[in-house]
Amino acid sequence: MSDEKKKGLRSQAWFGKQDRDGFMHRSWIKNQGYPDDMFDGRPVIGICNTWSELTPCNGHFRELAEFVKRGVYEAGGFPLEFPVMSLGETQLRPTAMLFRNLASMDVEESIRGNPIDGVVLLMGCDKTTPSLLMGAASCNLPTIGLSGGPMLNGKFRGHDVGSGTGVWMMSEMVRAGQMTMDEFVASESCMHRSKGNCMTMGTASTMASMVEALGMSLPENAAIPAVDSRRYKLAQLTGRRIVEMVKQDLTMDKILTREAFENAIRVNAAIGGSTNAVVHLLAIAGRMGVPLKLEDFDRLGAEIPCLVNLQPSGKYLMEDFYYAGGLPAVIREIQGWLRPEALTVNGRTLVDNSREAPCYNREVITPRDEPFKPDAGIAVLKGNLAPNGAIIKPSAASPHLMQHRGRAVVFESIEEFHERINDPELDIDEHCVMVLKNCGPKGYPGMAEVGNMPLPLKVLQKGITDMVRVSDARMSGTAYGTVVLHASPEAAAGGPLALVRTGDMIELDVAGRRLHLDVPEAELARRREQWQAPETPKRGWYKLYVDHVQQAHLGADLDFLVGGSGAAVPRESH
């Protein structure tokens, strides 16, 4: 490598110095057995790894990282793997979302403080993807994403079962007496039978799709199963490509443009993606300084039909999606709606990458002229119950409930909900609107996935499977139902949701984009005077988070993390 190109590498500020400090930086790394020529001006590629045995979706990332390293070495780079906080959706309490912003800080400072020229982000489970993208975006080095891939289809007694979606469905069957507890337990190992993340179009697969749709990964990243050898081939190619990106100075700001986010919103609609993509894309855009608003999800995605017949909105699973053609086939189908100038990490545009993409199964990926569901995307609702907006996923909702007026039955906390929901004396029927408070960013804290409240037992026993539910919470991307989420401002911040009382009438009109609490303003003002803010945490991350987290319509990032600081070389450490 020429001296001029060496000077352009951040890592040379560590490894290129012929003095005491350079000696220290090189010598201590050499204790791992690296020869002298690894420090001669090769691009240093940081492999940001969210491997953890506590994050089962990412449990195979040690092996995946080795294939990335192969590719980096082949292209003349120097790969150095480093760990960051891993956020496991299935184990981490009170919710992985509470720690998304913390993990992003870990990523950002790990990149900025170390001799790194380019970054490969290894991500899979729900919050690992946005947290890594957010942290890397604040540094703005050449960066490429690599998802871990979905699990193989779940198989239980001759039927496919989807992770998450099957849990919600079968647990309700147990409550309704339609399935025994022994059968329920027997399905556990059948549902999750290989490495990888949820194989439904939950948040993990949605965000893997968003990485590809944003242009931050090589094509086919979203859907190759975790245990398919082609996932490891993609890892090796990813390692090769990041070295070239460093040489080309292809930084994140050249890829994560306004046009890229518009494409991602439209692709999310076409795949029937998770509502969680809203808060994550808003947060990532905020780190890049890209103007993106909640209303953009409705304006840009409302006209896009749902083309992908996957659980929770449909029938099939991610393994089927990959065999049918994966995300490139969907992108080709909707390319007329996409911004054709949006660049991707391989140097080509998103549209060019998918221009010839085949589709092998029209039951899984339907044509745009004969869509799986005509109503897709995310509907943004406003009204006096959510002045800054709330969202609903029409493709997962019941058509007969999309316009509804019902009596509110209010639960002040998730604990109260669990205590009362199975009480036969609870005054509730299928026409009521279930309202859950204090589950937003500040309220839980962390905005947990509790918005898809299980139905009352007395309603389930009547054969009813859906009711209107309203909260400031999120719901799992694997969940379904007529569920209004992310009400902003949240109850814990004194939003109108805090003022709702059992017996109030609530009107939902998805077509009219309206969510209205039918209570006179004077009465609401009186209730507002009586409202008391909940007690806030006194120390640690919880306190920092609650003091600084923004509301859902802004992406629930911390206010002081919006924007970025670049990756200037910090002062010497000795």
Asked if residue 204 lies in contact with residue 58, where contact means CB atoms within 8 angstroms, the answer is no
Which phi and psi angles does 259 have, rounded to 5°? -60, -40
CATH topology of domain 42-152+194-354: Rossmann fold (3.40.50)
Asked if residue 176 lies in contact with residue 461, where contact means CB atoms within 8 angstroms, the answer is yes
Could you tell me which CATH number the domain at 379-534 has?
A: 3.50.30.80
Q: Which of 366, 367, 335, 369 is nearest to 353 (CA)?
A: 335
Tell me how far apart the alpha carbons of residues 159 and 78 are, in angstroms, rounded to a whole number. Answer: 46
Residue 570 CB neighbours (<10 A): 11
CA atoms within 13 A on the CB side of 52: 18
Q: Which of 428, 215, 226, 232 is nearest to 341 (CA)?
A: 215
Assess whether pLDDT exceeds 60 at residue 4. no
Torsion sign over Cα 458, 453, 388, 444 = positive
Which percentage of the chain shows pLDDT scores above 70? 99
Range from 175-184, 270-279, 348-357 carrying the lowest mean pLDDT: 175-184
Assess whether pLDDT exceeds 80 at residue 2. no
Mean pLDDT of the chain: 95
Range from 87-96, 178-187, 350-359, 463-472 carrying the lowest mean pLDDT: 178-187
Mean pLDDT confidence for 155-171: 86
Element housing 259 (H / E) = helix 258-271
Mean pLDDT confidence for 7-33: 95
Per-residue pLDDT tens digits for 65-97? 999 999 999 999 999 999 999 999 999 999 999
Dig out the tokens for 564 from the structure.
């970025």
Tell me how far apart the alpha carbons of residues 214 and 285 are, in angstroms, rounded to a whole number. Answer: 11
Asked whether the domain spanning 379-534 has the same topology as the one spanning 42-152+194-354, the reply is no
Domain spans of the chain? 42-152+194-354, 155-191, 379-534
